[in-house]
Amino acid sequence: MNKVQRVSSLRAAVQAARKDKKTIGFVPTMGGLHEGHLELVRVAKRRADFVVVSIYLNPTQFGKNEDLDNYPSTDEEDARNLAELGADLLFLPEQQTMYPGDLDEQTVVYVPKIGDMYCGTDRPEHFYGVTTVVSRLFNMVQPDVAIFGNKDYQQIAIIRRMVEDLAYPIQVVGVDTVRSEDGLALSSRNAYLGMKEMAVAPSLQQSLRDMADVLREKASVVSKNALKSLEDSIKTSLKKKGFKPQYITVCRRSDLKPAKKGDQELVILAAAQLGKARLIDNLEVTLGEVK
């Protein structure tokens, strides 16, 4: 596996692969790689002939008083794991490469509406940073296919919208969330959980499963008032376990707008603080589906 820092070196390697008739797969990351990230690389290897992985801790998607300075960094271990999986190129851009000017004067890529909800409400700078950095990386790598985890459900929906609106010739592929045996979604931020919090954290996913059971059993619950009552009940339950819920919402998968009566393809989105860790999770639900 080759490692490069310069965009010119990155593009030379990608162009050489294209000359050999290879398709280009891309997995953007911020480092601190865990099994969930590695699964994205495995999927990229199946989807493309030449796989580029980037590691760049993007400051523009962190708000004030967030965990940028303490974000897990395991660069040497990350590189070893990527090489073992057969990644072809590791792109390690420096700050000046990604943002050559003052951060306050950079062009920003913004996806309205869908980026203003849920995590966009609690973290208003976050998705501006995500779409801006992903747009820049797409222009640098110019992949045929880009792989993202479905754990960040709203993020991948926003990236798909950006790709469509800006006419990027890129297929965006979502990969199912990788979980520990107890159901906890793997995340770099799980490192912030203490032992007691680790024992409680799987309750977030279990709560979504409980909500899904109610939705499947009582389709009539998909009305504004009934959904709010269900969501509030789950929030109350999570608070008793030590969580500080930010949102628990039943949405339409197509556009992430709140579910309405008659909608069948749904997703439950959730974000909650547990100790120092901000956990997000989701669960797709199809009404009329027997589980």
pLDDT at 260: 87
Closest to 92 in 3D by CA, of 38, 52, 142, 128: 52
Percentage of the chain beyond pLDDT 70 is: 97
272: domain CATH number is 3.30.1300.10
- Domain interval for residue 112: 2-175
The band of 225, judged by pLDDT with boundaries at 50, 70 and 90, is: confident
Query: Is 106 found in the same domain as 139?
Result: yes
How many domains, the chain? 2
Mean pLDDT of 246-256: 95
Q: How much is the pTM?
A: 0.93
Query: Is 107 found in the same domain as 246?
Result: no
Closest to 136 in 3D by CA, of 44, 63, 60: 60
The torsion defined by the Cα of 231, 235, 241 and 244, in degrees rounded to 10, comes to 140
The band of 65, judged by pLDDT with boundaries at 50, 70 and 90, is: low
Query: Is 142 found in the same domain as 260?
Result: no
Q: What is the DSSP string of 42-91?
A: HHHHHH-SEEEEEE---GGG--TTSSTTTS---HHHHHHHHHHHT-SEEE
Closest to 37 in 3D by CA, of 92, 74, 66, 2: 74
Task: Please determine, for residue 243, whether its predicted confidence score (pLDDT) is greater than 60.
Answer: yes
pLDDT at 290: 54
Query: Is 94 found in the same domain as 7?
Result: yes
Measured in degrees and rounded to the nearest 5, phi and psi for residue 176 equal -55, 145
Task: Give the tens place of pLDDT for each residue, 161-188.
Answer: 999 999 999 999 999 999 999 999 999 8
pLDDT at 222: 72
Task: Please determine, for residue 291, whether its predicted confidence score (pLDDT) is greater than 60.
Answer: no
The answer to whether residue 28 is domain-embedded is yes
pLDDT at 220: 63
Task: Please determine, for residue 246, whether its predicted confidence score (pLDDT) is greater than 80.
Answer: yes
| Final residue belonging to a domain, choices 106, 140, 175 | 175
| Final residue belonging to a domain, choices 140, 175, 210 | 175
Task: Give the tens place of pLDDT for each residue, 43-61.
Answer: 999 999 999 999 999 998 8
Q: What amino acid positions are annotated as catalytic residues?
A: 37
Of 178 and 262, the one with more pLDDT: 178
The H-or-E segment that residue 271 falls in is strand 265-274
Query: Is 202 found in the same domain as 157?
Result: no
Query: Is 171 found in the same domain as 271?
Result: no
134, two tokens: 């992903």
The answer to whether residue 182 is domain-embedded is no
The band of 155, judged by pLDDT with boundaries at 50, 70 and 90, is: very high
The answer to whether residue 72 is domain-embedded is yes
Query: Is 147 found in the same domain as 219?
Result: no
Mean of per-residue pLDDT scores for the chain: 93
The answer to whether residue 181 is domain-embedded is no
The answer to whether residue 262 is domain-embedded is yes
| Final residue belonging to a domain, choices 175, 202, 233 | 175
Please tell me whether residue 255 adopts helix, strand or coil conformation.
coil
Task: Give the tens place of pLDDT for each residue, 85-137.
Answer: 999 999 999 999 999 988 888 899 999 999 999 999 978 789 999 999 999 99
pLDDT at 36: 95
